[in-house]
Every structure is written in C-alpha cells, then in structure tokens.
Structure 1
Amino acid sequence: MEAKDTLFSTKTTLNCRGKLLPLDTPQVMGILNVTPDSFYAGSRLGSLAEVLQKAEAMLADGADILDIGGYSSRPGATDISVQEELDRVVPAIEAILNKIPEAVISVDTFRAAVAEAAVSAGAAIINDISGGNLDESMFETVARLQVPYILMHMRGTPQTMTTLAKYEDVIVEVVDELQEQVVRLKQSGVKDIILDPGFGFAKTIAHNFELLRRLDELRIVGLPILAGLSRKSMVYKTLGIEQADALTGTIALNMIALMKGAAILRVHDVKEMKQTIELFKKTKL
C-alpha cells in the first residue's frame, strides 16, 4: 500500500508487522522502562506483573505503540551488558504479546543484537537513541529485518553526551547529521524511517527550546518526526519544579510539537497526550 504525500512528501503510514499505523493522525507511544534507574522514577517497572499492568493501562488509555527499554539512557547512566539488557527486554515483550497479541511494540535499544532478539520476540519497531552510531551492525540488521526504524540524533554515549552539546546552529547541524544517516539507511534498504531530534541528548536546555521552536524545519528531510519531550529537564528545570509535577509543562510542549509537525509523541502520560491530540486535531483546517 502506497502512502499519501503531504507538502513535504512525508510518508503517512508505518507498516508494523502488517498493521498500518496512520501517521496523518498523530500517534502516542507509551514509555515502558524495564530498568531500575530511568530518569523518571514513575516510569520504572521492576517485574513482569508491573510491566503487564502498565501496558494494559496505557493501551486502555489509547496508546498506539508501547516502547520497551531495558537500558537507561539518562545522562551518566550505568552501562549494562547485552545479556542483562536482553534479560530485561525480551521477557517483557513476550509477556505483553502473549496477553495482548494486537499490541504494537517498539524496542528502545542501540544494540543490534538486542534489536534482533526483540523483533524475534514480536517487536515491530526499532527505536535507536544512537542513530546507528553505537553499533556498526544496526543498519544492516534493520534492513534485514525490514521493520520501521526510529533514527534519533545523539552525540557520544549516554555517559559522555553532555560534554558534546556544542553547536553553531543546532537545527542545521541536527538535520545534517540525521540526513547523513538517512542516506546510509536508504542505501542499506531500510524503507520506514522516523526522525527524532533527540531532545535532551547532547543538547542543553537552550538547544532543546531552539529545536522545538524550529522543529518544522526537520520536515525538509521528508520523514515522519517523533518528539520525546515527556517530563524532561527542559520542563521541570525551566519551571523550577519537581519532575513529578512536570505534566502540565509536558502537555504544553507536546502541543507545540504537534503544531510544528510531530507525528509521534513519546510519553509517560498516555491519556493526557491523547486528549492533547484530540484538541490539536480541532485546530487543523
């Protein structure tokens, strides 16, 4: 099935194991962190029972995608082995799909081996925070698996990225660096690519706001855009509040992202973002 085109010839469907997600209507990706140290304490899930309970709640609230991650990517996060990441992610995917087989799952990993195992377990999307820069096998793996790939912009690693937040023009450099990887992906045979500018990854708070203000400039690449703004420091540090109180600010920034062309919102609070999208849709001509 061929997707329709928009002004920027952006693909408006994603083929997720035969299920088409319509990106002309913004989609919500719910965050499921199977980790003990993710940056937002409210998203940490320690057991399969908790994972299932949260997954069911998010789907009931309207989540279109569940994003499962077993490696914390917060600044300065502890590095873990491939095996430990696999032991966290794969059972979670299998448990969810065993109970909710229609769920669309993405795996949040920068490791090709984890991505492959997750897809074998039933994941339909690979969400790579490193944009292919931390595992030279990732692009070949995605091309072979023929699943949608979320290409995020980051410099360095979660342990070093804060030292690399130096830009002359953040949006121009982010677009250029993503475009280089898009060319490589397409040459490898990857068909479904989503761009994520990487809010908070090798970016200062000022960089994050500049990226959001000019997010529509990323549409020139002609690919769908994912915005990951949920409860990040650009919200709670700017407002001088606790992270637990950052929902209102998150809603505000996600509305701006929608107005700037975001097709997917990656969030902790699914119900509130589905409501935000419904209100946004009323403003579209």
Structure 2
Amino acid sequence: MEPVRDIYPSRTGECEKILNRMDPVVYGDSTSAPEFGLKQNQIEFYEDNGYLTIPDFMPEVVPDLIAEMDRMKEDLAGDETLVTEPDSGEIRTIFKPFAHSDVVDQLSRDPRILDKVRQLLGSEVYMMQSRINVKPAFKGKSFPWHSDFETWHVEDGMPRMRAVTVWLMLSENTEYNGPLFVVPGSHKKYVACSGKTIEKNYETSLKKQVLGVPKPETMKEVLANSDIKGLYGGPGTLVFHECNLLHGSPDNISADPRSILMFVYNSVENRPVEPFGGQPPRPHYLSNPDVAPLKPIKLS
C-alpha cells in the first residue's frame, strides 16, 4: 500500500513553523440540521473560533457520572488506563471510561450530542479516544499550550483535521481551579513543532507534555492576533472543541477540584494510518482500534 502523504509534517527535526490549515472546519451541510443539531449561529461561531460552549446542557447526568468516576478510580487502581499527577501521585486522567461504564458509554451515543457531532464532521463517527481529566484541589498540574491534532497526527496517524472533542463539565470550572484556556481562531493555522518523537513518548507526555508544545516565541506570534479565552461554567456545561485548536490549562491553585469528561469523535472517513512520527501506534486507550460507527441510543 502506498503511504499517505503527510500534509501536516511536525517533529521532523526542522525548525518550528506556522502553516496554513488545509482542511475545512465544518464538513456538514448546515442547511439540513438533524433533530438535535446545532443552530446556524452556533455552527458559525464554532467555525470562526474553534470552540462552542453550551451552558447548562445536561446537568441532570452529572451526579451519576461523578459516582462512576469515583468507582472507576477504585476499580481500575494500578491499571495502565489510569494516569497520575507527576508530583502528588493523585489521579490525573482516567482513559477509556466508556469501556468500564455503561453510563459513560450511553452518554457518548446520546443523540443530543451525536447529532451535533455528525453535523459538524459531515459523516458517521467513531470514538477515537475518551478520558476523564481530574485536577485535584491545590495539586492538579498544568497542561501546556498544544494542538491535540498535532499529537494525534504524529503519534496516532490521524491524517486530516476531521475530529472534534466534546467535553462535559462535571464540576464548576472557574478561573482559579485550572480551567481550560483556548486561543480563539488558532485552529485555522497549524504549528509544526520542533523535535523528534521518542519511543513510547506517551509514557511521560501523559504526565508532563514536552514534545508537540509550541515554543514561547511561536505562541507570542500566535497571540499577537488573538486573545486567550477561559472556558468557565457549571456542572453540565457542554463544550465542542475543534481538534486543531491551541489550548492549555494552568495549575489548580484553589480548594475546589475540577473534573471533565471528554469524548473525541473522529470521522469514519478519517481513520488513522501509520503514525507520521515513525513510531508504532499508541495503545488502544489512546487511539481506539474499533472504528465502527457509533450507533445512537434511543431516548425514552
């Protein structure tokens, strides 16, 4: 099989570059919205900014999800799908929660979410990755500026920018407890990072990311034409986050923990190929090998 041409080269050992995006942001036909689809003004905001926040979307599901999160912390203790903080040893991330919780699995296929995702990506989708991110009070550490697509492209072989992360706030996200910061509009460019991917980079990057992180001078150039936006909200707030949007988060310096549940939906027309960084594919909990289209659940 002829190798897929890499139109987004990164970590090739060359100097860092800011390249033009070569893919659409919205793939679907906005003139024919599904039952639970986004409104035209929401689609336009997402296309322009690279994210969309829907406050108070489904707060009723949060208590059961928190109970499932607490259960998985205990049931999966010592499992490779649990990642701890680099300093304190407290839980930082639970990967692939949909495989361990019917509650999470059903939510990932809820048509109130799935309709919107398929509308944006213009195709059937599968669950490429899922996680629960936890930032303990006082001890939750930062995530540096990065584009998810850069990592998924280099380390997982995602060929094009045709994926979206949808995440639900499980706790209050404030300016003090390590919220997500985004650079609106940054998804329209692509930062080809310097460096070279090392073998099993994920074993350290999940605790502290170094590769795939734009240099300060690059971020200074990016931020010359854009502001930083903090994404705040109460439990049940839903966020759509374009795969190439530059984002990061600071330490949690407050007494309030912060938790979010994330689903990464990838188009079935954008299935991964051999990783462009030259390393073997990452484990199943980081890039799901099951690329079957998700079947929505029936709402009662």
**What TM-score range do you get, normalising by the shorter chain?**
under 0.3
Work out which of the two has the higher radius of gyration on C-alpha atoms and give 1 or 2.
2
The higher relative CO (CA closer than 8 Å, separation ≥ 6) is in: 2
Give 1 or 2: higher strand fraction. 2
TM-score w.r.t. the length of structure 2 is 0.27
TM-score w.r.t. the length of structure 1 is 0.28
Give 1 or 2: higher helix fraction. 1
